[in-house]
């Protein structure tokens, strides 16, 4: 009987902890997303951790592609803050489908986040960008974060072909 009582108490504590994380995530996402989309929206996280954006009447808001991507980034950043995740955040083609306005906004948010991460921890964020994403404009937006820049290149050699990692921007 004692084992069952302990197991039940553990389940209750687990449920409370999950509820607290969900509540903190909702607040953090709602706060950060208000910068992206103006209006009176509410963020709700379902029991399956689906992030919903709802109008005041509870109906679901249809988000644009850029708004949906921004919300996904916001979820990742908020989750790291709320539960203090320390692993590297690796993002492939972070700006691939975003318009210029969302690229500017996201660059600003990510630069601020990177500075905060470096100041408080030794966490890493790695962005894998194509040359159409990492333009001089994008580079300027990230300048305050002082990123390390590397490129991957494929070299055809006399004896061997090889992939190389270079520092800076691919010439």
- Digit-coded pLDDT (tens) for 93-111: 887 777 777 788 778 877 8
CB proximity list for 92: less than 8 A, separation 6 or greater: 128
Q: What is residue 109's predicted lDDT score, i.e. its pLDDT?
A: 76
Q: What is the mean pLDDT of residues 143-163?
A: 87
What is the spatial distance between Cα 171 and Cα 155, in angstroms, rounded to a whole number?
Answer: 13
Q: What is residue 11's predicted lDDT score, i.e. its pLDDT?
A: 85
Q: Could you tell me which of 113, 142, 140 has the C-alpha nearest to residue 125?
A: 113
Highest mean pLDDT among 27-36, 101-110, 148-157: 148-157
What is the spatial distance between Cα 24 and Cα 170, in angstroms, rounded to a whole number?
Answer: 41
What DSSP state is assigned to residue 109?
Answer: H
Q: Give the distance from CA 45 to its chain's centroid.
A: 16
Q: What is the mean pLDDT of residues 80-89?
A: 76
């Amino acid at each position: 009987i004692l084992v069952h009582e302990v197991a039940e108490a553990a389940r209750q504590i687990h449920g409370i902890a999950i509820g607290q994380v969900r509540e903190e995530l909702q607040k953090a996402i709602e706060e950060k997303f208000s910068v992206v989309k103006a209006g009176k929206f509410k963020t709700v996280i379902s029991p399956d951790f689906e992030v919903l954006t709802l109008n005041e009447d509870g109906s679901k808001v249809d988000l644009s592609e850029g708004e949906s991507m921004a919300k996904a980034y916001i979820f990742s950043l908020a989750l790291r803050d709320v539960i203090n995740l320390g692993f590297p955040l690796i993002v492939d083609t972070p700006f691939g489908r975003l318009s210029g306005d969302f690229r500017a906004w996201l660059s600003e948010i990510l630069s601020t986040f990177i500075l905060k991460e470096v100041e408080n921890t030794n966490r890493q964020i790695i962005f894998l960008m194509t040359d159409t994403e990492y333009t001089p404009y994008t580079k300027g937006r990230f300048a305050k974060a002082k990123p390390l820049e590397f490129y991957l290149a494929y070299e055809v050699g006399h004896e061997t072909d090889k992939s190389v990692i270079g520092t800076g921007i691919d010439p």
